[in-house]
A and B are shown apart, each in its own frame.
Chain A
Amino acid sequence: MVDIAITNVQPDRAAVASQWQLIWWAFKRHRLAMISLFVTIALYLVALIPGFFAINDPTLQNARATFHPPQRVHLIDTANGFSLGLHYYPLKLTRDPETLAAIFTEDTSRKIPIALFGRGYEYSVFGLFNTTVHLVASTDPSRPLFLFGADRLGRDVFSRVVQGAQISLSIGLVGVFISLLLGVVLGGISGYYGGRIDFVMQRVIDFVLSLPTIPIWLAMAAALPQGWPATMQYMMITIILSLTGWAQLARVVRGRFLSLRTEEFVAAARLDGVSEGRIIFRHMLPSFSSHIIASVTLAVPAMILAETSLSFLGLGLQPPTISWGVLLREAQNIRSIATAPWLFLPGIAVVIAVMALNLLGDGLRDAADPYNK
């Protein structure tokens, strides 16, 4: 793909372009990867300031809205004369006279307009200042808008999904960062020195890779005390996930080091008396950092899936911490999802995030490969 990219821009520009520029040109031609890039950026933006995108307080319980179904947002109002503008109708709760099952119907006589950049509950931005401005806000706080419905305690699922993005998406990044650190150090030592160190390290990597991860995670997560504060739990879960995740990255790094070790420019640097640290960081690392970035991008979604599975089984993060896995625990038994299928919606968020990151990583890998046609 680099070839195509080069022929499409002016040839003299391609000749002087840096490696990163070439990768960017190749990447831009990959439409699906570009879309994924935007989706990923949007998701991480939400994760950065979830309060702004949430509508209702994600922890607020509402006994009157138990299993409140999702509401539709309308643009054109015809029930109360004709008017335009975003609005919704509150749902009226009635009970089936025979089964006593809750029935929700739209009460079209009461129109509630939606305010963009309106006022809602108070939240903090990066812990720096507090504000009440939200992207979407209801103008009638006594009849809240449930875009994705409500759970068994009447909490707003949409706002919880938005809030959960913060934990679920960041756990992938932090976990991968720790595995990368372990992977680069151990894989680098193994590949750079070779010989006996490499042999031992190879066996260790093979061993870690042949372990079934989920039973190991379960056993480690079961060891965490239940009463720990949320931040400690978060740290421990990321460490647990990285303890098995580093091997894959270490293998990639080792392979690169081995093939670069015999390159002329490395030999030249060594003959010039350059120190080993400088050879590794100044000469070797830049020539495969694009590969590392691609592998890292592909490792993030795996981490997100792992956290979700662990929390879903009840051994990962614990409520009241909000993550996508914790939210999906609400959908654990068949009876609650039969009454409230919208409890699956956090799962859609997981699928979108993981798919976007996978496609992004795939596109990066293709773009970073200079031999890819």
Chain B
Amino acid sequence: MLKFIAKRLLWMIPSLFAVSFLAFVLIQLPPGDYVTTYIATLAASNEVIDQNTAASLRERFGLGDPMLVQYVKWMWGILSRGDFGISFEWQQPVSGLIWERMALTLVLAVASLLATWAIALPIGVYSAVRKYSVGDYLFTAFSFFGLSVPSFLLALLLMYVAAVEFGQDVGGLFSPEYETASWSIAKMLDLLGHLWLPVAILAVSSTASLIRVMRANMLDELPKPYVTTARAKGLSEFRLLTKYPMRIALNPFISTIAWLLPNLISGSVVVAIVLNLPTAAPLLLQSLMAQDMYLAGAFVLLICALTLIGSLISDILLALVDPRIRLE
């Protein structure tokens, strides 16, 4: 087991480097750099910047170096002192801007993951046990609906209903009075009061496929002889289900975390932008538009790293539950 975890952890290193390089290449792709965008913005308000200032700006941000040199410098900064570079737009270190937003992104993703499981597990089991019942058909219809509705549309629709019917603004994760307040119990409660909406939206689109997986797994297990044996021995139906077939059916459930987490984080980007949540996504979009490359790069890197860690956790959990995987 230890050997398996060690091997898996070792794999993380090249993956993380690949991700960091990918992030860096991606943010280098746009033609021009921040200074060009900056000059263009100034020109829009009729201000002119002379060539010398532009050159000295480039010098200061190290934009004149070849790409590989810039990448190595950037990586070295991150690895040696946790320095992600400077945000051009905000004129402050990137590390000061990202951590709280990344933490809220993580909170949102984990909460949605738990909600997805909490909804999909019982529904999947129910649909399998009561196959072809009215409830099964209803849930199947619901899951196809969930698969087909873009999450941003759902977010817009709920915002519309809340605004028009109830006169409430449901955007954001905090009430205005807590937005800049330091962390306290009251702020936590306020966060929970706002978190349910994005979590519900994200859960609707991700439960759909998971319900199908759970249902199919249970259907495979239910006709097996050991279920009949357990029933013949007089086990109550509930204990029977939870003790045997569900535990086996749960196996692929855990392995889904590997793709569920990237999906959730990916989906949360659009929802967060629509609902204007203080997570990484709105700032990522803004920094991409402004070519604020170190800020955008830090977000892309951290979001990708988060999903890699997610798949690592799922692999380890799976190995814990299923000994066959360890020995492979």
Contacts and interface: CB of A to CB of B under 8 A. Distances in A.
A214 B288 contact: no
B299 A215 contact: yes
B267 interface: yes
Contacts of A225: 31
Interface stretch (A216-224, A260-268, A281-289): A216-224
B266 A212 contact: yes
Interface in A166-224: 203, 206-207, 209-216, 218-220, 222-223
A212 B262 contact: yes
Contacts of A308: 150
Contacts of A358: 144, 147-148
Contacts, number: 129
Given A209-B259, A212-B262, A219-B29, A312 B152 contact: yes
B307 interface: yes
A212 B156 contact: no
Contact of B26 (A216, A312, A350, A351): A216
A309 B150 contact: yes
B160 A338 contact: yes
Contacts of B308: 210
B148 A222 contact: no
Contacts of B157: 344, 347
Interface in B292-319: 296, 299-300, 303-304, 306-308, 310-311
Nearest to B157: A344
Interface in B146-178: 147-150, 152-153, 156-157, 159-160, 163-164
A325 B284 CA distance: 20
Given A218-B285, A309-B150, A338-B163, A210 B262 contact: yes
Given A334-B160, A347-B153, A215 B147 contact: no
B145 A355 contact: yes
B26 A219 contact: yes
Contacts of A215: 265-266, 269, 281, 284, 299-300, 303-304
A312 B270 contact: yes
Contacts of B27: 219
A213 B153 contact: no
B259 A207 contact: no
Given A207-B15, A223-B29, A331 B284 contact: no
Interface in B16-34: 18-19, 22-23, 26-27, 29-31
B29 A207 contact: no
A270 B41 CA distance: 65
A114 interface: no
A212 B311 CA distance: 12
A211 B307 contact: yes
Contacts of A359: 144
Contacts of A206: 311
Counting chain A residues whose Cβ lies within 8 A of the other chain, the interface size class is: 35 or more
Given A210-B258, A211-B262, A347-B150, A341 B29 contact: no
A367 interface: no
B231 to A, nearest CB: 22
A104 B311 CA distance: 55
Interface in B239-288: 258-259, 262-263, 265-267, 269-270, 273-274, 281, 284-285, 288
A210 B148 contact: no
A194 B19 CA distance: 26
Nearest to A302: B147
Q: Give the interface SS of chain A, mostly helix, strand, loop or mixed.
A: helix
B153 A220 contact: no
Chain B interface SS verdict (over half): helix
Contacts of B304: 211-212, 215-216
A1 interface: no
A355 B144 contact: yes
A86 interface: no
A153 interface: no
B156 A218 contact: no
Contacts of B267: 214
Interface string B58-73: 0000000000000000
B289 interface: yes
Nearest to B258: A210
Contact of B288 (A218, A328, A354): A218
A216 B300 contact: yes
A337 interface: yes
Nearest to A352: B148
Given A223-B30, A337-B156, A347-B153, A212 B307 contact: yes
A214 B263 CA distance: 9
A313 interface: yes
A207 B150 contact: no
Nearest to B274: A332
Contacts of A213: 262, 266
Interface string A304-339: 010011001101000000000000100110100110
A344 B157 CA distance: 8
Contacts of B150: 305, 308-309, 312, 347, 350-351, 354
A301 interface: yes
B82 to A, nearest CB: 21
Interface of A: 203, 206-207, 209-216, 218-220, 222-223, 225, 301, 305, 308-309, 312-313, 315, 328, 331-332, 334, 337-338, 341, 344, 347, 350-351, 354-355, 358-359
12 contacts: A210-B311, A215-B266, A215-B303, A219-B23, A222-B30, A222-B288, A313-B273, A332-B156, A334-B163, A338-B160, A347-B153, A355-B144
Given A212-B266, A222-B289, A331-B156, 8 more contacts: A209-B258, A210-B307, A214-B267, A219-B288, A222-B291, A305-B150, A354-B148, A358-B147
Across the A-B interface, the 5 shortest Cβ-Cβ residue pairs: A223-B29, A355-B148, A222-B288, A219-B26, A212-B266
